[in-house]
Amino acid sequence: MKKLIIVGFSAALLAGGFSSCAKTTKGKVSNEWSVTKWTSESTDTDSDGDKTIRSTSIEGTSGTQTNTFTSGGNSTTTTRTAAVNELSYTIEKDGTWSSVMDITWTSTFTGGSSSDATKTTSSGTWSFLSKNKSGEFKKNERLVFNTLSEASSTVSSTTFGGTTSSSNSSDSQTYAEGESAMIYLVVESKGKSLQLSSDMDQTSTSTSGGTTYTNSTTGSTSMTLEQK
C-alpha cells in the first residue's frame, strides 16, 4: 500500500493547507545542506478521547521536545533535550538525494536519566511537482522526495542510582518508487538558504470486534537549510 510522507524524518501523512509562497531552481536545490532549524507541532487524537500533543524545536546543535498526553481528564507532560551531532541533506542534480539525522535525546527523572542516541541515514530520488490547474501552486514551488532506503541504529542507556545500563538496536527499510514520498513547500529561497514547510492532516479508521476506532493527526513542520 502506498503512503505519502510530507514531514521530513516522519510518518505517513496527507498534505493539506499549503499556501503558495516561493519557487526555486534545480541548481539552487542541488547542494550540500545543513538543517539549522527544525520545528514541528502535532496533535494526535483517538476516538476514545486520548490525545497526545508533541512540540519539537531544534536550532543549531541543541533542541527540546515536549509531549503532553491527556486521558480521562488527566494530563502528563514529559520533556527531553536534544544534542544534534548531524542533521543534513545532500541533494544531487541527477535527481538523487541522501540525508543523515544523528541526534541524542536525553530525559531526566528523579534519581537518574535516560538517553537515546539514534543515527538515521536515508536516500532516494527527488523532483519538482508541476504547476497545478487551480493555480494555487506555480512551477518549482513544491518538492517531492522519494525515499528508497532508510537505516537507523540506536544506543539506549539509563542511569539510575549510579548504575548505567545500555542496549543497542538497528532497523532498515527499502521502498519502491513512490511508496514513501516527502512533499515540501518552498517558503523561501534566497542566498545560500532554503526554507521548507509542510502541513499534515490524516484520519484513519479501523474496526475490531464490532467496534470502530478513529485516529486523527494534524500539525505542521518547518525547516531551514543552509549551504555547507
Residue 74 forms part of a structural domain: yes
For residue 134, the model assigns a pLDDT of: 63
> Is the residue at 171 inside a domain?
no
Looking only at the bridges linking them, the beta strands covering 180-190 and 193-208 are antiparallel
**At residue 19, does pLDDT exceed 70?**
no
C-alpha cell at 130: 508541476
Q: What's the one-letter identity of residue 6? A: I
- The reply to whether 31 falls in a domain is yes
Specify if 112 maps to a domain: no
Residue 57 maps to a domain = yes
In the chain, how many domains are there?
A: 1
Q: What are the grid coordinates assigned to 48, written together?
A: 476514545
Band of the pLDDT at 7, cuts 50, 70, 90? very low
SS3 26: helix
Using 50, 70 and 90 to split pLDDT, how confident is the model at 63? Answer: very high
Contact 195/224 with Cβ under 8 angstroms?
yes
Predicted confidence at residue 182, as pLDDT, reads: 83
> What pLDDT is stored for residue 16 in this prediction?
35
Cβ partners under 8 Å of residue 214, min gap 6: 46, 47, 203, 204, 205
What is the DSSP secondary structure assignment for residue 182, as one 8-state letter?
E
For residue 45, the tally of other CB atoms under 10 A from its CB is 17
Give a yes or no: residue 109 inside a domain.
no
Q: Percentage of residues in the chain with pLDDT exceeding 70?
A: 89
Confidence of residue 210 (pLDDT cuts 50, 70, 90): confident
Task: Report the mean per-residue pLDDT for the chain.
Answer: 88
Of residues 22, 2, 25, 27, the one with CA closest to residue 12: 2
Q: Give me 69's grid cell.
A: 498526553
Distance CA 122, CA 104 (A): 18
Of 77, 59, 56, 64, residue with least CA distance to 9: 56
Q: Is residue 33 part of a domain?
A: yes
Q: Mean pLDDT throughout 209-216? A: 88
Domain that holds residue 9: 3-99+124-144+181-227
In this structure, how many other beta carbons lie within 10 angstroms of the beta carbon of residue 206?
10
Task: Look at the pTM and tell me if it is higher than 0.85.
Answer: no
Residue 107, in any domain of the structure: no
